[in-house]
Amino acid sequence: MTESTSKLQRREQPLWFEKQRKRRDAIFLETTRSLCSTCLAVIDAKILMRNSQIILRKWCRDHGFEEVLIHSDADWYLRAAKYNRPGDLPLRFSTKVKDGCPFDCGLCPEHEQHLCLGLIDITNACNIQCPTCYADSRGTDYLTLAQVQKALDTYFTIEGQGGVIQYSGGEPTIHPQFIEILKLGIQAPLDSLMVNTNGIAFADNPDLVKQIKDISDDKLEIYLQFDGFSDEVYQKLRGAKLYRKKMQALENLLKYEIPVNFASTIKRNVNEDQIGALVDFGVHTSGIRGIHFQPAAYVGRFGSLDPLNRVTNTEIIHAIEDQTEGMFRMNDFLPLPCSHPSQIALTYAYIQGKKVKPIPRFIDIEPYLDQFTNTIYADPRPIYKRAVEGLWSAGTSFNSLKTLYDFSCVCGLPVKKEFFSSNGRAKIANENAFRIILIQFQDKYNWDMKVARKSCIGFIQPDGKAIPFDTYNLLYRNGG
Ligand code: SF4
Ligand code: SF4
């Protein structure tokens, strides 16, 4: 064949035939900003959908490309996106826009949401040393009463009266003035006061439980770190065999009718298999109001991970469905629209004896939460809308009269007198309500600026600042 014949033959083939383009292995969804996990520089990132998962891919000029799993279920992420809605402004911003996010916390005027839930770290000391402590608690500092009061004042200045504060740390119960600090919160005009605790003090000292009951005015809820039902789990997550202590703490708290929520961290190859048992135990144990599941976030002492094989909210929801044999199903969980909808999901159930009825199975919640649907929804029924929006907020507490009203309204229940104490507060006697929340906190791998800017949970400082939860742990804790 001569050279000219061969050229002719090539030209006779259609042009597209010769092109051997490869197709990308993922669908590009959106652009965002993230952090380099090595140098913490703020860098460009994109959100991709690959093999039914959501991946954050980012590039640092000094440390190259990184990818991290955001959600194990892309359908959930895409469905959740439509629940995004405009945030409410805080009453006051504490900083100016100067260096850009995340260096202007906060809250700066570019933050997209007020704080539904404020945390005050009353100490950085602890009575155990969890290898997984997100706060890396090993200090010896304790806020003074005056500093706690200033932090409470900060909260009221930016949020107004009402709302929910959680005392945290470190371990709040070892503060030498724990009772006085508790009284400050109980006397403050809050809807509810929570204590985030490992429970050891409540296990070892039943008198302390009685003391807090006596002053609690039915305003107090305990967030009990409770990760599973074996010493092996606690050895790996908390560095000690604590299962019996946890059960003792629970027994003492429930004996004095102090409402308990479990805060359960789920880590790969440690306790994913206990998720269903935690739900089942919580639902059927009188006095446990709900469970907060938190996929392990790799901040503080949590060390490093395989970023593409981390536990995510959607994996936990699937595990709840599988391990409870459908007591709760995937579709029972809806995103929290006040935060970024990919970060928090929750559901409520009405409990009648052994029967568990997740609310989304008897009322169609979607039209009340979906910002876009609402604009064309024919019957917005404002009472329901207010009640559903009240429940789907990070600042709910079954100790709050409002939450209980909202729950009763959504469930179509009469608000019974026996739900309330003589002071008008919610009583533990209401055993019909249960809530499951999943919060996917961010670390240096999965930090996503658009999620951080919509955060509705923040640390309240005595100096007048309030700093969104994830950003605080990564960049501001211990002086930043
Ligand atoms: S996280 Fe929020 S408060 Fe902090 S700098 Fe960004 S926008 Fe401002
Ligand atoms: S995670 Fe909580 S209990 Fe564990 S060391 Fe940190 S502050 Fe203490």
Q: Residue of the nearest CA to atom 4 in ligand 1?
A: 105
The secondary element (H helix, E strand) that includes residue 225 is strand 220-225
Averaged pLDDT for residues 431-442 = 87
CB atoms within 10 A of CB 41: 12
Q: Where are the domains of the chain?
A: 23-71, 85-479
State the distance from the centre of ligand 1 to the C-alpha of 302, rounded, in angstroms. Answer: 24
Decide: 158 in ligand 1 pocket, CB within 6 A: no
Average pLDDT of the chain, as a whole number: 86
Over residues 194-234, the pLDDT tens digits come to 999 999 999 999 999 999 999 988 789 999 999 999 999 99
Averaged pLDDT for residues 57-64 = 97
Sequence-distant (≥ 6) Cβ neighbours of residue 268 within 8 angstroms? 296, 305, 306, 309, 310, 311
The helix/strand/coil state of 168 is strand
The answer to whether the bond into 170 is cis (omega within 30° of 0) is yes
**What span, in angstroms and rounded, lies between the C-alpha atoms of 193 and 151?**
14
User: Sorting pLDDT into bands at 50, 70 and 90, what band is 185?
Assistant: very high
- Residue of 171, 174, 234, 236 with the most ligand 2 atoms within 8 Å of its CB, for mutation: 171
Q: What is the pLDDT of residue 11?
A: 59
Among 393-397, 404-408, 413-417, 448-452, the least confident range: 413-417
pTM: 0.88
Over residues 67-103, the pLDDT tens digits come to 999 999 999 899 888 777 788 899 999 999 999 999 9
For 85-479, which CATH superfamily applies? Aldolase class I (3.20.20.70)
State the distance from the centre of ligand 2 to the C-alpha of 399, rounded, in angstroms. Answer: 25
Averaged pLDDT for residues 374-390 = 54
The length of the chain is 480
Cα-Cα end-to-end distance for the chain: 73
**Segment of 146-150, 163-167, 327-331, 385-389 carrying the highest mean pLDDT:** 146-150
